[in-house]
Amino acid sequence: MTSPVRFDRGHTDDLMSFLTASPSPYHAVASAAERLEKAGFRQVSETDAWEGSTGGKYVLRGGAIVAWYVPEGAAPHTPFRIVGAHTDSPNLRVKPLPDTGAHGWRQIAVEIYGGPLLNSWLDRDLGIAGRLSLRDGSNVLVNVDRALLRVPQLAIHLDRSVHTEGLKLDKQKHLQPIWGLGEPGEGGLIRFLEDENGIEPGEVTGWDLMVHSIERPSYLGRDRELMAGPRLDNLLSVHAGTAALAAVAGSATSGADLRSAKQTDKLSIPVLAAFDHEENGSQSDTGADGPLLGSVLERSVFARGGSLEDRARAFAGTVCLSSDTGHAVHPNYAERHDPTHHPRANGGPILKVNVNNRYATDGSGRAVFAAACEKAGVPLQSFVSNNSMPCGTTIGPITAARHGIKTVDIGVAILSMHSARELCGADDPFLLANALVAFLEG
């Protein structure tokens, strides 16, 4: 039976607002939390004792969020249905000593985060955002969302070989943004951010800052059937997972999806797990290779009076969808794709397969997601890499191996992955969200 359609093009409109409000992982989880709060979720602290009450809860840790909804009738051994995603994107991040420059130009020292398409950061108006840590131990989110920095490209007159030999960028020499004239002054950037945010001078003692393109997301194409924007990899999935979890919780609260007492053995607990640091290996306390997800799920079991046996039973029945963007077939480079697998924009979510476990999908996992797409009335595509090309990876294999839970890799097909500005079909975000609702409903 097909479930009612929850989302349409208005979801894509909201995605564009989400992208604009989320220039860093810290802003992304704050944006997700704001939406969940409106859906009735409440934040719980990891340092507090947790109660086993029903309803929606979430945990924030740095640039990661784990949220879950416990329905009426859930037992300690009730399995979870998880949508996994990541909040970080490749970009340029500010170094510990940020103020630099040469020859009368003031510059900001940056380090390359993840694997960005470096040329996509050239000649763009850039803002700066992230987190400031204060002397009193608190953190403040900051976002200077105006034309503040720019990485200028070398003029063609000074690099005549660029058209014959290609653009060659040295990560240390050529990616340092300019932001003014004069000699670099110690503390210049941090003092500027203190002034911008009404913070007393000298109160900032730490920072996690990054640059972002200030160009707004937009529809494009003859019929506005495409959408371009920053950080689609992977805030598109974070936004879809947040919307889907809120929708499922709303249905349960309204009674639209409540099950009878005889059906409590079929219940599942919907979860959103959005991690940081996927783009550099996930090995952190907020990454998928850290203990955050396992700790939250385990504590949820124990808060409902469960035992280690209940925890084992719950994990054994759990399924995770690792949702991350994948590659649409590129019309100018079709030979780089598998000749029989050509995911298209607006063709629906993709199921990502790699027999060497770069993706976690197997046949039984495919069946789980195919059933969700069928229930949602959403088309499904398959992605596999060209055998001659190395395959990327996701949080999927990490999640499966670390927690021993069935994991399926899915996502939305895009172009220009890892660019400062990426491209997708305008329908695919809401098609994904509808499929995630069907999956989370069980």
Q: What residues are paired with 91 via a beta bridge?
A: 113
CA torsion sign for 32, 37, 38, 39 is positive
CA 26 to chain centre: 11
Residues in the chain, overall count: 442
In a domain, 1, yes or no: no
Which residues are part of a known binding site for Zn(2+)? 86, 157, 418
Strands 55-61 and 42-43: parallel
Which are the contacts of 297, defined by CB distance < 8 A and separation ≥ 6? 68, 80, 271, 311, 314, 315, 318, 403
Same domain, 166 and 269: no
Residue 66 and residue 153 in one domain: no
CA neighbor of 419 nearest in space, from 167, 151, 120, 216: 120
Entry pTM: 0.95
Can you tell me the distance from the alpha carbon of 337 to that of 335, in angstroms, rounded to the nearest whole number?
A: 5
Per-residue pLDDT of the chain (442 residues; tens, 9 = 90+): 566 778 999 999 999 999 999 999 999 999 999 999 999 999 999 999 998 889 999 999 999 999 999 999 999 999 999 999 999 999 999 999 999 999 999 999 999 999 999 999 999 999 999 999 999 999 999 999 999 999 999 999 999 899 999 999 999 999 999 999 998 877 799 999 999 999 999 999 999 999 999 999 999 999 999 999 999 999 999 999 999 999 999 987 665 544 444 455 679 999 999 999 999 999 999 999 999 999 999 999 999 999 999 999 999 999 999 999 999 999 999 999 999 999 999 999 999 999 999 999 999 999 999 999 999 999 999 999 999 999 999 999 999 999 999 999 999 999 999 999 999 999 999 999 999 999 999 8
Residue 221 lies in a domain: no
Domain ranges, residue 378: 9-89+230-441
Is residue 246 classed as helix, strand or coil in its secondary structure?
Answer: helix
Peptide bond into 234 cis (omega under 30): yes
Question: 99 and 78, same structural domain?
Answer: no
Return the number of other C-beta atoms located less than 10 Å from residue 255's C-beta: 8
User: Are residues 61 and 84 located together in one domain of the fold?
Assistant: yes
| CA 8 – CA 434 distance, rounded (Å) | 9
For residue 262, the model assigns a pLDDT of 41
- Identify the bridge partners of residue 355 per DSSP, sorted by sequence position: none
pLDDT value of residue 261: 41
Residues annotated within a binding site: 86, 157, 418
Q: What six digits make up the tokens of 368?
A: 């789980």
Q: What is the CATH number of the domain that holds 98?
A: 2.30.250.10
